[in-house]
Amino acid sequence: MAIKFAATMNAVNKGLEQTKPDKGAHLVEDWETALADTDVTGAKGILRDLQSLRKQLEKDNPDADRIHALLHRLGQNTVKIADRADKNGDKIRALGEALTEAGEEQGDEEEDKEAAANPKRGRKKA
Protein backbone atom coordinates (compact mmCIF):
# COMPACT_ATOMS: atom_id res chain seq x y z
CA MET A 1 0.00 0.00 0.00
CA ALA A 2 2.86 2.39 0.77
CA ILE A 3 4.14 2.08 -2.80
CA LYS A 4 0.71 3.09 -4.16
CA PHE A 5 0.67 6.15 -1.93
CA ALA A 6 4.19 7.16 -2.93
CA ALA A 7 3.62 6.70 -6.67
CA THR A 8 0.29 8.51 -6.61
CA MET A 9 1.53 11.38 -4.46
CA ASN A 10 4.60 11.74 -6.71
CA ALA A 11 2.32 12.02 -9.74
CA VAL A 12 0.13 14.59 -7.98
CA ASN A 13 3.11 16.59 -6.71
CA LYS A 14 4.77 16.68 -10.13
CA GLY A 15 1.50 17.78 -11.66
CA LEU A 16 -1.05 15.36 -13.04
CA GLU A 17 -0.80 17.10 -16.41
CA GLN A 18 2.79 15.79 -16.57
CA THR A 19 1.69 12.20 -15.96
CA LYS A 20 1.18 10.16 -19.10
CA PRO A 21 -2.38 8.80 -19.43
CA ASP A 22 -1.19 5.17 -19.51
CA LYS A 23 0.78 5.71 -16.26
CA GLY A 24 -2.30 7.33 -14.72
CA ALA A 25 -4.47 4.42 -15.83
CA HIS A 26 -1.96 2.01 -14.27
CA LEU A 27 -2.09 3.90 -10.95
CA VAL A 28 -5.89 3.85 -11.07
CA GLU A 29 -5.88 0.09 -11.69
CA ASP A 30 -3.70 -0.38 -8.60
CA TRP A 31 -6.16 1.60 -6.50
CA GLU A 32 -9.12 -0.31 -7.95
CA THR A 33 -7.44 -3.55 -6.87
CA ALA A 34 -6.70 -2.16 -3.41
CA LEU A 35 -10.27 -0.95 -2.92
CA ALA A 36 -12.04 -3.99 -4.37
CA ASP A 37 -12.04 -5.83 -1.04
CA THR A 38 -12.36 -2.79 1.20
CA ASP A 39 -15.43 -2.79 3.39
CA VAL A 40 -15.56 0.89 4.35
CA THR A 41 -18.64 3.01 3.76
CA GLY A 42 -17.97 5.16 0.70
CA ALA A 43 -15.39 2.84 -0.87
CA LYS A 44 -17.79 1.54 -3.52
CA GLY A 45 -18.52 5.08 -4.76
CA ILE A 46 -14.81 5.80 -4.93
CA LEU A 47 -14.31 2.56 -6.85
CA ARG A 48 -16.96 3.59 -9.41
CA ASP A 49 -15.31 6.98 -9.88
CA LEU A 50 -11.91 5.32 -10.26
CA GLN A 51 -13.34 3.10 -12.99
CA SER A 52 -14.74 6.17 -14.77
CA LEU A 53 -11.39 7.93 -14.43
CA ARG A 54 -9.49 4.93 -15.83
CA LYS A 55 -11.86 4.76 -18.81
CA GLN A 56 -11.26 8.46 -19.51
CA LEU A 57 -7.49 7.97 -19.31
CA GLU A 58 -7.66 5.04 -21.72
CA LYS A 59 -9.51 7.06 -24.39
CA ASP A 60 -7.73 8.50 -27.40
CA ASN A 61 -9.26 11.91 -26.58
CA PRO A 62 -10.07 12.04 -22.87
CA ASP A 63 -12.50 14.69 -21.62
CA ALA A 64 -10.37 17.03 -19.48
CA ASP A 65 -13.40 18.57 -17.76
CA ARG A 66 -14.71 15.13 -16.82
CA ILE A 67 -11.29 14.12 -15.51
CA HIS A 68 -11.04 17.25 -13.36
CA ALA A 69 -14.53 16.65 -11.99
CA LEU A 70 -13.70 13.03 -11.17
CA LEU A 71 -10.45 14.01 -9.46
CA HIS A 72 -12.24 16.59 -7.34
CA ARG A 73 -15.01 14.18 -6.32
CA LEU A 74 -12.50 11.38 -5.68
CA GLY A 75 -10.52 13.74 -3.47
CA GLN A 76 -13.51 14.82 -1.43
CA ASN A 77 -14.75 11.25 -0.96
CA THR A 78 -11.27 9.99 -0.10
CA VAL A 79 -10.96 12.59 2.66
CA LYS A 80 -14.35 11.46 4.00
CA ILE A 81 -13.26 7.84 4.41
CA ALA A 82 -9.79 8.63 5.81
CA ASP A 83 -10.99 8.55 9.42
CA ARG A 84 -12.63 5.15 8.91
CA ALA A 85 -9.53 3.49 7.46
CA ASP A 86 -7.92 0.81 9.60
CA LYS A 87 -4.47 2.15 8.80
CA ASN A 88 -2.82 4.84 6.68
CA GLY A 89 -5.54 7.37 7.58
CA ASP A 90 -3.11 10.30 7.39
CA LYS A 91 -1.83 9.21 3.99
CA ILE A 92 -5.37 8.69 2.74
CA ARG A 93 -6.38 12.16 3.92
CA ALA A 94 -3.30 13.76 2.30
CA LEU A 95 -4.02 11.95 -0.96
CA GLY A 96 -7.66 13.06 -0.86
CA GLU A 97 -6.72 16.67 -0.25
CA ALA A 98 -4.19 16.58 -3.11
CA LEU A 99 -6.75 15.08 -5.50
CA THR A 100 -9.33 17.67 -4.50
CA GLU A 101 -6.86 20.45 -5.28
CA ALA A 102 -5.83 18.82 -8.57
CA GLY A 103 -9.43 18.51 -9.69
CA GLU A 104 -12.10 21.05 -10.33
CA GLU A 105 -15.58 21.03 -8.90
CA GLN A 106 -18.32 20.97 -11.50
CA GLY A 107 -21.08 23.44 -10.78
CA ASP A 108 -24.61 22.19 -10.45
CA GLU A 109 -26.85 22.47 -13.43
CA GLU A 110 -29.03 25.55 -13.46
CA GLU A 111 -32.38 24.99 -11.88
CA ASP A 112 -35.29 24.95 -14.31
CA LYS A 113 -37.64 27.17 -12.30
CA GLU A 114 -40.55 26.70 -14.67
CA ALA A 115 -40.33 22.90 -14.40
CA ALA A 116 -39.89 23.12 -10.63
CA ALA A 117 -43.04 25.22 -10.33
CA ASN A 118 -45.01 22.76 -12.43
CA PRO A 119 -43.84 19.24 -11.46
CA LYS A 120 -45.30 16.27 -13.33
CA ARG A 121 -44.64 13.66 -10.68
CA GLY A 122 -47.48 12.96 -8.34
CA ARG A 123 -50.15 14.16 -10.75
CA LYS A 124 -53.08 11.94 -11.41
CA LYS A 125 -54.02 11.43 -15.00
CA ALA A 126 -57.53 12.52 -15.84
- In the structure, what pLDDT confidence band is assigned to residue 121 with cuts at 50, 70 and 90? very low
CA 20 to CA 50: how far, in whole Å?
17
The model's pLDDT over 2-45, given as tens digits with 9 standing for 90+, comes to: 567 788 888 888 888 888 888 888 888 888 887 777 778 888 89
Summarize the confidence of residues 43-51 as an average pLDDT. 90
The model's pLDDT over 86-104, given as tens digits with 9 standing for 90+, comes to: 777 788 888 888 888 888 8
Closest by Cα among 39, 68, 76, 34 to 52: 68
> 63 vs 120, which has greater pLDDT?
63
